[in-house]
Chains A and B, each alone.
Chain A
Amino acid sequence: MDAHHLVKMANGIGDFFASEPDQAKGIKGVADHIRAFWEPRMRKQIYMYLDQASGEGLRDIVLKALRDYRKELAV
């Protein structure tokens, strides 16, 4: 899995949920979407990227979602 491709995908999800007026709901929206649609090896890869590259290039809302919901999303 190409990490940069996953970053782009995650940011696209973040772009959508960023318009949610309630920030906490937006962050949860990102996490729920990734949980519902990303195959485990994709989630594993994005967390490897988060840990190794500090999530460089990921939108804030995505970073928050990955960090706040690590228990639910990590494989």
Chain B
Amino acid sequence: MQSITDIDLGTKKPSSGKTITLEVDGVAVSVPEGSSVMLAASLAGHSVPKLCSTDTLEAFGSCRLCMVEIEGRRGYPASCTTPAEAGMKVRTQSSRLGDLRRGVMELYISDHPLDCLTCPANGHCELQDMAGAVGLREVRYGFDGENHLHAEKDTSNPYFTFDPSKCIVCSRCVRACDEIQGTLALTIDGRGFASKISPGQNQDFMDSECVSCGACVQACPTATLMEKSVYSYGQPDRVVETTCAYCGVGCSFKAEVKGNQVVRMVPNKNGHANEGHSCVKGRFAFGYTTHPDRITKPMIRKSIQDPWKEVTWGEAIGHVASEFKRIQEKHGRDSIGAVTSSRCTNEETFLVQKLVRAVFQNNNVDTCARVCHSPTGYGLKTTFGTSAGTQEFRSVDETDVVLVIGANPTEGHPVFASRMKRTLRGGAGLIVVDPRAIDLVRSPHIKADYHLQLKPGTNVALLNGISHVIVTEGLANDAFALERCDPAEYQAWKTFVSQAKYSPEEVEQVTGVPADQIRGAARLYARQGNSAIYYGLGVTEHSQGSTTVIAMANLAMATGNIGREGVGVNPLRGQNNVQGSCDMGSFPHELSGYRHVSDAAARALFEKDWNVTLQSEPGLRIPNMFDAALDGSFKGMYIQGEDFVQSDPNTQHIEKAMSQMECVVVQDLFLNETAKFAHVFLPGSTFLEKDGTFTNAERRIQLVRKVMPPVAGLADWEITAEISNAMGYPMKYNHPSEIMDEIARLTPTFAGVSFEKIDKLGSVQWPCNEKAPEGTPTMHIGGFVRGKGKFVLTEYVATDERTSRKYPLILTTGRTLSQYNVGAQTRRTANVVWHEEDVLEIHPHDAENRGIKDGQTVEIASRAGKVSLSAKVTERIQPGVVYTTFHHPDTGTNVVTTENSDWATSCPEYKVTAVEVTPVSKPSEWQEHFREFTEQQEELLAQRVVSKP
């Protein structure tokens, strides 16, 4: 079922600039060349009845309801599959057409239950609408004959039901799964009257390959595929357009609401990032917003051994202000700091860094991008001049060769992955660089030309090897590089990568990737046409994360794959607003817009606007904050929506540091792992409870609109402003749009951004200023932001984290489709049915050597710590490497990961940890401690002194 406010034109609107004019029912209408007759009729305001067609799918021509008459043509052609032609004269209504359509509808209804009044689609059913539209008044066939009315309902999926008794076999679900999602999980089984929709091979939905993206549910014209929430709550009555708060794709959704109850989240057809598609998280996993675990009252306590005490907002804010002031008086100005959240809005992160710089009077502010894409910021700024990806998602449609390195888009960025898969099914080349056989390596109608299954930690060596082939075989685009980049640096780079040590044969020794595959992949990437690089945390979360980003930028510049559609270097950002939190000045060395705090002119702008003096020295990064806490010089911390005790490496080190703090203030939805070390808990608001903006991986700024009032009374931006007010620095904003106005005033790349403009245009990609008043979809056209593109030499340096006899395997960590980051949100939804625990993937060879069987409990031990979890024996991972996720706190994956980090940005090396795996029968010591500590903290929460209403 489409959104209750969607208008369906019937077939897709072609992008052709040329128009043709025809007549529909005597009305002249001009449409883009390539339009269907159905589309022309819709645009003329004379829509034709239809069932199997919808404007999100290719025309199919099966239902026969949309037939029309065309002057000079015989018969009654289906308007959905008939191309409109210049001068054509179409008739959509006639007595004969009416009879034919009623006949068709009568057949459909003869095999459809007449339970409209109790059907969940009642009031929003296309079949019901069409029966009305064609004037169906009777069904002469009766219901005694053979029919499907007793077909069994499949309720296996936690979010939607499949009721085949209501199915009209229009194939919209099958085509949505094929064309939009690209999973091809559905098919039509049988022929003629026996035709039926079959998930997988006649399986139920949960057992099939279905990834629960919801595309089939959205495409279904009846209640055959229907959200369970609609069964529970009935039809929604209002719609609020907003932006998803999960990954960095930034899907636009229509929140369909009844009162303050969200009934459905329906992907917005007009959403610029997702164009009507969604994934299981954004589409269905919003139940956490009303989960009973949510804490809705501010709480304080003296020590983490004390029960919590509920207090008023005034008391809580006053306590925070007085504690932070006390600590600064006692331990100095630099003894406190804050962490901004990549899950909060731009306006909210901007205010937190403003609080730190203007009120705390230091630069001790950092963000969770520290542990994911900080190397992207460093690498792309160094080479291109801008700390952001170069393209918009749409660009991949124009790509001839896709290089995916250290990313798993179908799990981490599923909606963009669907778009990428369309390009790949259309024939684009594919190179996958990954230690694991991710889904993209082989999926329906897609097979990677090259899967370079390298050893974790050898990205730079491999990219240098690819560059070696390109340079030594004369495949570089010298003309482009010499014109657009510094010629001397380009020549130095060519000499550097041409060294024998980076020949494919030498690189094979380091990476384990056969030389001929390196050569083949290099030739494919460098061939004429558009080659684009997409990458993720498998690039950045290494000791050479920044170097790898630079190496990719070098590669793109050397082959001329930058500065137009279809090419570029594209980070797939993890969290919904990780780009935005970086843009907003969340790093300790940068003001908004990536201007260093030592830049006196930039500082002066802020000083004048904020009426304060700012510090010119960089502040502490998150890991430095922990180190400073342990040495006693850092005592207070304000944490906005971040859970680094679970997400950051070497958990035990962090726990020790947190225990040393005098005032930890956590602003969050739940009592997360970090909040267990907190002295003040400030209940935050979900994305449904506030206004603001998120910026996605393609620099696209989109509006987040309040769907309901904040459950705890204040939106996150209001809480920060109240702390500032209480500390004596007034922050007076009536609405987040005023904060964006301030951001625009102080940030050149945001100079033209306003809520009004975003609302009008739907979204804006920065830079948005006088030169680009409606934003910039593609960066570096005609020249780099920094002037000349900068080639930088990228020597491969092996990580210090080496395997040994004691720790012979490499652990690499990642994510899964159904869960999000630390799982705080998704673990509180039905998504747990797909991933109820973190498991350790291990190759059969390594498992057999250790006597490990599938499903057995094993212990991973590293130099940092030990945890136990279940083993999954699979050939998806190569021998010598094991893999797990970090979505469940009781697993404690980051107890095992080490403090090794990227040389430039301190981004942790999550992807390489030397470990040993052994069968065990009990939890690790840390896990026992975790269980006890969690029970204690839950008890202290349960014992909380409740405030009077």
B837 is an interface residue with CB less than 8 A from chain A: no
> Digit string of A18-51 for contact with B (CB within 8 Å is 1, else 0)?
1111000000000001001111111000000000
List 18 additional contacts besides A2-B630, A21-B492; criterion CB under 8 Å.
A1-B627, A9-B901, A9-B903, A9-B906, A13-B903, A13-B904, A15-B795, A16-B904, A18-B795, A19-B793, A19-B794, A19-B795, A36-B596, A37-B621, A37-B904, A39-B621, A41-B334, A41-B633
B543 is an interface residue with CB less than 8 A from chain A: yes
Contact check: which of A1, A19, A20, A37 meets B631 at CB < 8 Å? A1
| CB proximity of A16 to chain B, nearest CB, Å | 5
Report if A12-B543 is in contact (Cβ < 8 Å); known contacts: A36-B596, A39-B618: yes
A13 to B797, CA, bound (A): 11
B628 is an interface residue with CB less than 8 A from chain A: yes
Interface residues of B (CB under 8 A from A): 334, 363-364, 492, 496, 543, 546-547, 588-589, 596, 598, 617-621, 624, 627-628, 630-631, 633, 793-795, 797, 800, 899, 901-906
Chain B residues whose C-beta falls within 8 Å of the C-beta of A71 in the assembled complex: none
Shortest beta-carbon contacts, A-B, top 9: A12-B903, A19-B795, A19-B793, A15-B797, A39-B620, A40-B617, A1-B627, A16-B903, A1-B631
Report if A2-B619 is in contact (Cβ < 8 Å); known contacts: A20-B793, A41-B334: no
**B903 contacts A36, C-beta separation under 8 Å:** no
| CB proximity of B433 to chain A, nearest CB, Å | 21
**B628 contacts A1, C-beta separation under 8 Å:** yes
A48 to B796, CA, bound (A): 31
Q: Which chain A residue has the least Cβ–Cβ distance from B625?
A: A39
**B618 contacts A37, C-beta separation under 8 Å:** yes
A18 to B630, CA, bound (A): 32
Contact check: which of B598, B627, B795 meets A5 at CB < 8 Å? B627
| CB proximity of B782 to chain A, nearest CB, Å | 29
| CB proximity of A5 to chain B, nearest CB, Å | 7
| CB proximity of A34 to chain B, nearest CB, Å | 10
User: What DSSP secondary structure best describes chain A's contact surface?
Assistant: helix
Sample 21 A-B pairs with CB under 8 A, ordered by A number.
A2-B627, A5-B627, A9-B903, A9-B906, A12-B543, A12-B903, A13-B904, A16-B546, A16-B795, A16-B797, A19-B496, A19-B793, A21-B793, A36-B598, A36-B618, A37-B589, A37-B905, A39-B364, A39-B620, A41-B334, A41-B628
Interface residues of A (CB under 8 A from B): 1-2, 5, 8-9, 12-13, 15-16, 18-21, 33, 36-42
Chain A residues whose C-beta falls within 8 Å of the C-beta of B902 in the assembled complex: 12
Chain A residues whose C-beta falls within 8 Å of the C-beta of B627 in the assembled complex: 1-2, 5
A16 to B621, CA, bound (A): 20
A61 to B223, CA, bound (A): 69
Chain B residues whose C-beta falls within 8 Å of the C-beta of A42 in the assembled complex: 624
| CB proximity of A74 to chain B, nearest CB, Å | 12
Q: Which of A13, A21, A33, A36 has the most CB of B within 10 A?
A: A36
Q: Which of A1, A16, A20 has the most CB of B within 10 A?
A: A16
Q: Which chain A residue has the least Cβ–Cβ distance from B800?
A: A8
Q: Which chain A residue has the least Cβ–Cβ distance from B793?
A: A19
A25 to B535, CA, bound (A): 30
Q: Which chain B residue has the least Cβ–Cβ distance from A18?
A: B795
| CB proximity of B20 to chain A, nearest CB, Å | 59
Chain A residues whose C-beta falls within 8 Å of the C-beta of B617 in the assembled complex: 39-40
Q: Which chain B residue has the least Cβ–Cβ distance from A11?
A: B903
Contact check: which of A5, A20, A21, A39 meets B588 at CB < 8 Å? A39
Report if A39-B624 is in contact (Cβ < 8 Å); known contacts: A13-B903, A21-B492: yes
Chain B residues whose C-beta falls within 8 Å of the C-beta of A1 in the assembled complex: 624, 627-628, 631
Q: Which chain A residue has the least Cβ–Cβ distance from B597?
A: A36
**A36 contacts B589, C-beta separation under 8 Å:** yes
Q: Which chain B residue has the least Cβ–Cβ distance from A43?
A: B617
Q: Which chain B residue has the least Cβ–Cβ distance from A6?
A: B627
Chain A residues whose C-beta falls within 8 Å of the C-beta of B363 in the assembled complex: 39
Q: Which of B589, B596, B618 has the most CB of A within 10 A?
A: B618
**A38 contacts B496, C-beta separation under 8 Å:** no
Chain A residues whose C-beta falls within 8 Å of the C-beta of B800 in the assembled complex: 8
Report if A39-B492 is in contact (Cβ < 8 Å); known contacts: A5-B627, A16-B904, A19-B793: no
Chain A residues whose C-beta falls within 8 Å of the C-beta of B904 in the assembled complex: 13, 16, 33, 37
| CB proximity of A32 to chain B, nearest CB, Å | 11
Q: Which chain A residue has the least Cβ–Cβ distance from B617?
A: A40
Chain B residues whose C-beta falls within 8 Å of the C-beta of A37 in the assembled complex: 589, 618, 621, 904-905
Chain A residues whose C-beta falls within 8 Å of the C-beta of B598 in the assembled complex: 36
Q: Which chain A residue has the least Cβ–Cβ distance from B492?
A: A21
A21 to B902, CA, bound (A): 22
A15 to B793, CA, bound (A): 12
| CB proximity of A46 to chain B, nearest CB, Å | 12
A39 to B333, CA, bound (A): 13
Q: Which chain B residue has the least Cβ–Cβ distance from A42?
A: B624
Chain B residues whose C-beta falls within 8 Å of the C-beta of A36 in the assembled complex: 589, 596, 598, 618
A40 to B616, CA, bound (A): 11
A75 to B61, CA, bound (A): 75
Chain B residues whose C-beta falls within 8 Å of the C-beta of A9 in the assembled complex: 901, 903, 906
| CB proximity of B784 to chain A, nearest CB, Å | 20
Q: Which chain A residue has the least Cβ–Cβ distance from B615?
A: A40
| CB proximity of A10 to chain B, nearest CB, Å | 9
Chain A residues whose C-beta falls within 8 Å of the C-beta of B588 in the assembled complex: 39
| CB proximity of A13 to chain B, nearest CB, Å | 5
A37 to B624, CA, bound (A): 11
**B618 contacts A38, C-beta separation under 8 Å:** yes
Chain A residues whose C-beta falls within 8 Å of the C-beta of B793 in the assembled complex: 19-21
A9 to B543, CA, bound (A): 10
Chain B residues whose C-beta falls within 8 Å of the C-beta of A19 in the assembled complex: 496, 793-795
| CB proximity of A4 to chain B, nearest CB, Å | 11
A36 to B904, CA, bound (A): 11
